[in-house]
């Protein structure tokens, strides 16, 4: 709600104990989805680096906000072969959130030179 980037990493029950009433079986990912920009439970231990990278990007791009990553209990003691991780060390560039100056200038020129311009601005413009 305060538009600050935040990564929350939580723990949950083991994957094999789902629907068995295990401790921490609450559907945390679904519950957090309403209140975060990105909420996920990695499908494998190898997927964790890319999930964290996506959470970091999601938390800072556009309007900053919170992201939630749920780590199953059975991931804690697992070991992974480093070579099996497919992770790119370079983040994607941030999405463009503003129009290019030349596009704005061109739109202004078209409006300025129009004989009878009609501008509908605001949330009622689709009605």
State how far the Cα of 47 lies from the Cα of 32, in Å rounded to an integer. 20
What's the pLDDT tens digit per position in 58-116?
Answer: 998 888 899 999 988 888 888 877 777 666 655 666 666 678 889 999 989 999 999 98
What ranges make up the beta strands (E) of the chain? 6-12, 38-40, 66-72
For residue 93, give its domain range: 6-112
Number of domains in the chain: 1
Q: Per the domain annotation, does 90 fall within a domain?
A: yes
Question: Residue 17, Cβ neighbours under 10 Å: how many?
Answer: 16
- Domain CATH code at residue 46: 3.40.50.970
Helices (DSSP H) in 8-79: which residue ranges?
28-33, 48-60
Q: Per the domain annotation, does 119 fall within a domain?
A: no
pTM to 2 decimal places = 0.62
Does residue 127 carry a pLDDT above 70?
no
Q: Per the domain annotation, does 107 fall within a domain?
A: yes
Q: Per the domain annotation, does 125 fall within a domain?
A: no
Q: Per the domain annotation, does 67 fall within a domain?
A: yes
Q: Per the domain annotation, does 122 fall within a domain?
A: no
Q: Which pLDDT does position 66 carry in this prediction?
A: 92
Does residue 40 carry a pLDDT above 80?
yes
Q: Per the domain annotation, does 123 fall within a domain?
A: no
């Amino acid at each position: 709600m305060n538009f600050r980037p935040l990564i929350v990493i939580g723990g949950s029950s083991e994957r094999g104990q789902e629907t068995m009433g295990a401790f921490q079986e609450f559907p945390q990912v679904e519950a957090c989805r309403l209140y975060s920009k990105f909420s996920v439970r990695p499908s494998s231990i190898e997927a964790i680096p890319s999930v964290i990278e996506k959470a970091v990007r999601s938390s800072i791009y556009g309007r900053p906000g919170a992201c939630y990553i749920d780590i199953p209990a059975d991931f804690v003691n697992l070991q992974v072969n480093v070579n099996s991780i497919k992770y790119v060390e370079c983040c994607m560039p941030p999405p463009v959130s503003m129009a290019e100056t030349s596009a704005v200038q061109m739109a202004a020129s078209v409006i300025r030179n129009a004989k009878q311009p009609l501008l509908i601005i605001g949330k009622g413009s689709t009605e």
